[in-house]
Amino acid sequence: MPEDINAELETDELVPSAEPHAAHLPLDKAIETQADLSAEINALGDAYVRALKDGAPAETQPRLDYPPYRSSILRHPTKSLHHTDPETIELYSPAFGHQDVHALESDLTIQHNGEPQGERIIVAGRVLDGNGRPVAGQLVEIWQANASGRYIHKRDQHPAPIDPNFTGIGRCITGPDGSYRFTTIKPGAYPWKNHLNAWRPAHIHFSLFGTEFTQRIITQMYFPGDQLFPLDPIYQTIVDQDARDRLVANYDHNLTEPEWALGYNWDIVLTGPKRTWTENEAFGTAGDSSEEAGE
Amino acid sequence: MSTKLVPTPAQTVGPFYGYALPYDKDNELLAPGSPGAIRLQGTVYDGSGQAIPDAILEIWQPDSEGRIVQKTGSLVRDGYTFTGWGRGAVGNSGVYTFTTVNPGPTKPGAAAFIAVAIFARGLTNRLFTRIYLPEDTGALANDPLLSSLDPERRKTLIARRDADGGLTFDIRLQGEGETVFLDFQ
Ligand SMILES: [Fe+2]
């Protein structure tokens, strides 16, 4: 084990000792192992499966309170979310268009002078609302580690190589059918400081807007068959297997381009909508003024 | 014709959004010093009362006349167009700032507020809340959300007016004075 591990464990991925769940944490957090964490993850998962059998409703979103993800312990509200009907401004979304995002921003492999290292991939799919309606003309942002699992971020101290030809940021505006498409590099898994030998499964961060502010979501897309899924406290913040599966892209050979890139398909479903739609909005005029739409 | 689909789950924004989500003038809904411009600021605290250095907020609001704006240009600001939307990461001391305008009421007699989404490392899903302007106490008293809350919780949603005309709105994710976070589903 590299001797700087303990020093790194002092950093902010550890929660202060005064946190409320301290009673069930080992005294010396630096020795928390994957086995310790997996035991917690499995206990919560088993309890959820039992509750389902007893008739509890399926959970579709991550738990805000999920102690195995240590950074969540002091950062989750303890009071239940207050139900309210969205009003006026919350029933609309900001408008984004081609003034905001250049078409080339959807290709993460052409942002520098040379080709980035790694496995070139295409990630494409559609953004839909809860009624199955395409979310047209809306902003999609992604960010990710490079092929060796390193982010271009000053706080990423993983001793894996930075790729001078890869930044790992992309944006696009969805098409009339809600479609998005990125060309990028398959990101690598990377270590983090939740516990000793914690590794994140390879993922791409996605940020999405709907037609209403209430639909705003940030999430992560994963790759099929990753052996790190059961070990990852962030992926497991979603305790329902079907819900977790919704974050895993499908390998799609029809998207794969010969001699060029492997294709992954991932559709995203937003909540709602809550607003009564007018005809115009239903046809997706949001996002661009008419003169821009012809580009 | 409408089929109900199950929504995709959220995941935390993580620690590394800082090179991806922020952009030039992201927190300037209009240029500082413009007529009507105010500063909106606050601190995001965790359950131990520590300011957290890795949260990022988005605000979405009507203009000063209460009109909901549907104009592009939030990511590449032209310096003239008020789009109503902005993004601001907190600094190392946990403080966020926006330059914006006081939102107008969207309906006569309604309480004016700014809609907020909060993301942070350690926060597994975004949180929604509202920043109400403090002045129109009649409208605040009649507001459907505020009047459904007990007084202690209600005050977590009302901004403080600063001497310079700006607004201060702190966010407490957990514990004493925990901000009211909203569920719209
Ligand atoms: Fe990540």
CA angle B114, B117, B118 (to 5 degrees): 125
Q: What is the pLDDT of residue A28?
A: 52
Beta-carbon separation of A77 and B127 below 8 A: yes
pLDDT value of residue B185:
86
The pLDDT of residue A279 = 45
> Does B5 contact A139 at a Cβ distance shorter than 8 Å?
no
Render the burial of A211-237: b for 16+ CB within 10 Å, e for the rest.
bbbbbbbbbbbbbeebeebebbbbbbb
- A250-272 average pLDDT score: 97
Between A288 and B76, whose confidence is greater? B76
pLDDT at A289: 39
Q: What is the pLDDT of residue A291?
A: 32
Q: Which helix (H) or strand (E) segment is B58 a member of?
A: strand B55-60
Can you tell me the ipTM of this complex? 0.97
Q: How many CB atoms lie within 10 A of CB A184?
A: 27
pLDDT of residue A31: 81
- For residue A127, give the nearest of B8, B85, B4 by alpha carbon: B8
Residue of B nearest to A267 (CA): B8
| Å from CA of A190 to ligand 1 middle | 8
pLDDT tens per residue, range A172-200: 999 999 999 999 999 999 999 999 999 99
Q: Tell me, what's the pLDDT at B3?
A: 65
Determine whether the interchain pair A96/B72 forms a contact, defined as Cβ–Cβ distance below 8 Å: yes
| 3-class DSSP state of A200 | strand
Write the pLDDT tens digit of every residue in A83-95.
Answer: 999 999 999 999 9
Nearest-neighbour CA in chain A from B116: distance (Å): 9
pLDDT of A230 > 90? The answer is: yes
Percent above pLDDT 90 for chain A: 78
Quick: pLDDT tens for A13-60.
Answer: 333 333 334 444 444 555 899 999 999 999 999 999 999 999 999 999
* Residue A288 pLDDT: 41
Q: Do B110 and A169 touch (CB under 8 A)?
A: no
Triad A142, B15, B185: Cα angle to 5°: 65
Distance from CA of B105 to the nearest CA of A (A): 10
Interface check for B71 against chain A (CB to CB < 8 A): the answer is yes
Residue A42 one-letter amino acid: N
Q: What is the mean pLDDT of residues A210-234?
A: 98
Q: Taking CA atoms, what residue in A is nearest to B62? A: A89
Are B17 and A143 an interchain contact pair (Cβ–Cβ within 8 Å)? yes
Q: Using 50, 70 and 90 to split pLDDT, how confident is the model at A277? A: low
The pLDDT value given to residue B2: 54
**In angstroms, rounded to a whole number, what is the distance separating the alpha carbons of residues A167 and A171?**
13
| R_g (Cα) of chain A, nearest Å | 21
Taking the C-alpha atoms of residue A214 and residue A233, their distance in angstroms, rounded to an integer, is 26
Chain B residues closer than 8 Å to A282 by CB: none
pLDDT band at A278 (very low <50, low <70, confident <90, very high): low
**Which pLDDT score, from 0 to 100, does residue A284 have?**
42
pLDDT at A280 over 70: no
* pLDDT tens, N- to C-terminus, chain B (185 residues): 456 899 999 999 999 999 999 999 999 999 999 999 999 999 999 999 999 999 999 999 999 999 999 999 999 999 999 999 999 999 999 999 999 999 999 999 999 999 999 999 999 999 999 999 999 999 999 999 999 999 999 999 999 999 999 999 999 999 999 999 999 98
pLDDT band at residue A273 under the 50/70/90 scheme:
confident
CA dihedral A238, A141, A136, B65 (to 10 degrees): 100
- Closest Cβ opposite residue A74 in set B3, B8, B48: B48
Average pLDDT value for chain A? 87
Of A139, A133, A129, nearest in space to A95 by CA: A139
So which residues of A are the catalytic ones?
A: 151, 190, 200, 203, 205
